[in-house]
Amino acid sequence: MSNGHDQSEGHAAARDAGHQHGHSHTSGANQRRIGIAALLTGGFMFAEAAGGIMTGSLALIADAAHMMIDAVSLGFAWWAFRVAGGEPTERRTFGNRRLPVLVAFANAIAILMITAFIVIEAAERFADPVTVLAGPMMVVAVLGLVVNIVAFLVLMGGQRESLNVRGALIHVAGDMLGSLGAITAAAVILWTGWMPIDPILSVFVALLILRAGLKLARESGHILLEGAPVGLEPRSIRDALMGTVEGIAAVRHVHVWALDENRPLVTLNVELAPGADGFATITAVKARLKSAFGVNHATVEVDPPGAMTEPAGLPRD
pLDDT in tens, 154-175: 888 755 566 767 777 887 887 8
Measured CA to CA, the distance from residue 73 to residue 87 in angstroms comes to: 24
Q: Is the dihedral of CA 214, 220, 226, 231 positive or negative?
A: positive
pLDDT value, residue 218: 93
> What superfamily does domain 234-303 belong to in CATH?
Cation efflux protein, cytoplasmic domain (3.30.70.1350)
Three-class SS state of 92: coil
Query: Within 10 Å of residue 192's Cβ, how many Cβ atoms?
Result: 10
CB 300 within 8 A of CB 276: no
Query: Residue 226: beta bridge partners?
Result: none
Strand arrangement of the beta sheet that strand 264-272 belongs to: 248-258, 264-272, 297-303
For the domain covering 2-224, report its CATH number: 1.20.1510.10
CB 295 within 8 A of CB 289: yes
Confidence at residue 234, expressed as pLDDT on a 0 to 100 scale: 93
User: What is the average per-residue pLDDT within 4-29?
Assistant: 47
Those residues with Cβ within 8 angstroms of residue 41's Cβ, 6 or more apart along the chain or in another chain = 67, 70, 71, 74, 147, 148, 151, 171, 172, 175
How confident is residue 26, by pLDDT bands cut at 50, 70 and 90?
A: low
Q: Rounded to whole angstroms, how far apart are CA atoms 13 and 255?
A: 27
Structure confidence at residue 293 as a pLDDT band (50, 70, 90): very high
Q: Percent of the chain scored above 90 by pLDDT?
A: 30
CA dist., res. 53 & res. 257, Å (int): 47
Q: What are the structural domain ranges in the chain?
A: 2-224, 234-303
Q: What is the per-residue pLDDT for 60?
A: 85
pLDDT for 136 equals: 93
How confident is residue 143, by pLDDT bands cut at 50, 70 and 90? very high
User: Model-level pTM greater than 0.75?
Assistant: no
Q: Which is more confidently placed, 216 or 70?
A: 216
Confidence at 56, pLDDT banded by 50, 70, 90: confident
| Across 140-159, average pLDDT | 86
Among 21-25, 54-58, 159-163, whose mean pLDDT is lowest?
Answer: 21-25
Q: What is the mean pLDDT of residues 49-63?
A: 86
pLDDT at 294: 92
Give the pLDDT confidence score for residue 10 in this predicted structure: 44
- Per the CB < 8 A criterion, the answer to whether 158 and 165 are in contact is yes
Instruction: Tell me which residue of 272, 131, 143, 152 sits closest to 198, measured CA to CA.
Output: 131
CA distance 258 to 225: 10
Query: Element (H or E) spanning 302, and its range?
Result: strand 297-303
- By the 8 A CB rule, do 168 and 77 touch? yes
> Over the range 275-284, which residues count as b (16 or more CB within 10 Å of their CB) and which as e?
ebeeeebbeb
For the residues 4-12, what does the mean pLDDT come to? Answer: 43
Among 50-64, 73-87, 106-120, the least confident range:
73-87
Cα(226)–Cα(65) distance, integer angstroms? 33
- The pLDDT tens digits for 85-119 are 667 888 888 877 788 888 889 888 988 888 898 89
Question: What pLDDT, in 10s, does the model give residues 222-253?
Answer: 999 999 998 899 999 999 999 899 989 999 99
Does position 141 have pLDDT exceeding 50, yes or no?
yes
- Mark out the alpha helices in the chain (DSSP H runs): 2-55, 58-84, 99-127, 134-156, 163-192, 197-224, 234-244, 278-293
